[in-house]
Amino acid sequence: MERSIVKNTAWLFSGQAIGRAIRAVVIIYAARLLGASSWGVFSYALSLAATFTVLSDVGVNALLVREGSKDPSSRKKYLSTGLVVKLVVLGILGLISLSLQDVIIRIPEVSALMPLIILIFFFDSLRDFVSALSRSLDRMDIEAKGQIMTNIGIVIFCFLALVFSATAWSMTLGYVAGTLIGLAYVAMSLRDEFKGIFKHFRKSLVKTVLFSAWPFGLVSLMGVIMVNTDVLVLGQFGSSVDVGLFSAAQKPVQMLFLIPALLAAAFFPNMAEATEDKKKFGLLFSKGMKAIYLFALPIALGGAALAEPIIRAVYGNQYIYAYPSFLVLCLTCLFVFPSIFMTNAIFAKGGKKVFLPYALIGIFGNIILDIILIPLIGITGCAVATLIVQGALFLYGLYALNGIINRPLAGLWRIILGALFTVAIAMAFYILGANVLIAIAASAIIYPASLIVLREPSVREIMRILKRSPSVTSGVEV
């Protein structure tokens, strides 16, 4: 079990981390080249595509992973039925978005991008579905390589597009090409699983798929709405420049949300298998939460402490007004990181009743607070709204886990001390004149060293697992 989790985490983290690092290059380049206004148009378009992608899922992806992990004999039926459901939903959403684009889009330049937006969410939705199949097969290497191929494609085609025409339209077209490459790779890698796929379709299973998947689909929808609502609502109240500034603050933090998502995804198949064994489930949950906070605390505190120089170093002085939003968004990691893991644990346990109020708090809370706070404090209001709602969701998640997991936040004091010490050293480096990037690099060395000195048990646990598994890719075809 430990070997499987380490292997899955390694593949998912390497795929996403390498892919996001590659994509970050073109994002920073494009933001500087396009300027806040055109960058805002492009960011608004991507937020629409991301929202449509999650709307098209309706929880089918997570259901395929859960049921495929529990009972491999039923995988084909869920794969076939889930694919049909997804294709129907994709078609409906595509037609609705084209019909209502003049109603839902207030920034005129974005309307011209709608056909490209639909292609992005269509390709991304299908790639996510095939990646869910790879997780159910315990082939996370395919998903990781698919992420890398997608981001390499995005970087290559976006750079080419920007060379010929430095516009939001050309940047979006590059994204379309990259997402298509990623879909083609994962589909070809698992092509044998799709042979004769539709003969396994079960009409009687459609109702089961929809009713079983909707709780997780609702939470996934909540997550993407909370991430993208800020941009979409800001587009209604402000200008494309406002959207561009906030998006510049949001993008680095969004990339950091990859960490808990990968850890949750790596633990999820094992947690789904352990739902009947309370002790085993609790042990997995405890290890997962410790791993989550190992990353969340230094990222949140360090990002907030060095917010202004980080924004200046990444984007330049033209985006300096984005730093208050970046500061607040960094603090949301304290709540978002564990919440992502907790919702996966609740879903693995089948806690459907929890998801409806959880999702409603996230969806409507963020929208209402955005509408109230944006006119009062501008783009920073979006970040404050997110921080308040994520804090409320975190507390609700802890309440929902009461009785399932005992003391979910126990044993974090060493991690807290290590994070505070590391942030203090990083700030000292910067105050003494070091470049902020050097201060961050030094922190990456100081933090694990401080945890070793404090004898944090999770560090010893990780080292023990790695010593037992000298090759985390062992047993995986490359």
Q: What's the pLDDT tens digit per position in 114-130?
A: 888 888 888 888 888 88
The radius of gyration of the chain's CA atoms, rounded to the nearest angstrom, is 22
CA distances, 35 to each of 42, 99, 233 (Å): 11, 30, 21
Q: What tens digit of pLDDT does each residue of 219-265 get?
A: 555 656 666 677 777 777 767 788 888 888 888 887 788 778 777 77
Query: 108-112, 133-137, 347-351, 423-427: which has the minimum mean pLDDT?
Result: 347-351
Amino acid occupying residue 350: G
pLDDT at 24: 74
State the Cα–Cα distance between residues 61 and 48, nearest whole angstrom: 20
Q: pLDDT confidence of 478, banded at 50, 70, 90?
A: very low
CB 213 within 8 A of CB 169: no
Residue 165 has pLDDT above 80, yes or no: yes
State the Cα–Cα distance between residues 254 and 274, nearest whole angstrom: 30
Residue 331 has pLDDT above 90, yes or no: yes
State the Cα–Cα distance between residues 176 and 179, nearest whole angstrom: 5
Residue 328 has pLDDT above 90, yes or no: yes
Q: Report the mean per-residue pLDDT for the chain.
A: 77
Residue 251: name the closest of 32, 79, 70, 469 by CA: 32
Residue 16 has pLDDT above 80, yes or no: no
Stretch 178-186: mean pLDDT: 90
pLDDT at 219: 58
pLDDT at 309: 93
pLDDT at 464: 54
SS (H, E, C) the chain: CHHHHHHHHHHHHHHHHHHHHHHHHHHHHHHHHHHHHHHHHHHHHHHHHHHHHHHCCCCHHHHHHHHHHHCHHHHHHHHHHHHHHHHHHHHHHHHHHHHCHHHHCCCHHHHCCHHHHHHHHHHHHHHHHHHHHHHHCCCHHHHHHHHHHHHHHHHHHHHHHHHHCCCHHHHHHHHHHHHHHHHHHHHHHCHHHHCCHHHHCCHHHHHHHHHHHHHHHHHHHHHHHHHHHHHHHHHHHCCHHHHHHHHHHHHHHHHHCHHHHHHHHHHHHHHHHCCCCHHHHHHHHHHHHHHHHHHHHHHHHHHHHCHHHHHHHHHCHHHHHHHHHHHHHHHCHHHHHHHHHHHHHHHHCCCHHHHHHHHHHHHHHHHHHHHHHHHHHCCHHHHHHHHHHHHHHHHHHHHHHCCCCCCCCCCCHHHHHHHHHHHHHHHHHHHCCCCHHHHHHHHHHHHHHHHHHCCCHHHHHHHHHHHHCCCCCCCCCC
In the structure encoding, which two tokens stand for residue 162, read together?
A: 């920007």
Q: pLDDT confidence of 473, banded at 50, 70, 90?
A: very low
Stretch 343-355: mean pLDDT: 67
Instruction: Say whether pTM exceeds 0.85.
Output: no
pLDDT at 3: 47
pLDDT at 42: 82
Stretch 327-355: mean pLDDT: 80
Cβ burial, residue 300 (10 Å; 0-12/13-18/19+):
buried
pLDDT at 425: 92
Amino acid occupying residue 308: E
Query: 191-205, 235-249, 355-369: which has the minimum mean pLDDT?
Result: 191-205
pLDDT at 466: 42
State the Cα–Cα distance between residues 197 and 204, nearest whole angstrom: 16
Residue 124: what are its φ and ψ, rounded to 5°? -65, -40
Stretch 461-471: mean pLDDT: 46
Q: What tens digit of pLDDT does each residue of 57-101 get?
A: 666 776 677 666 666 777 777 777 778 878 888 888 778 777 766
Could you report how far apart the first and last alpha carbons of the chain are, in Å? 21
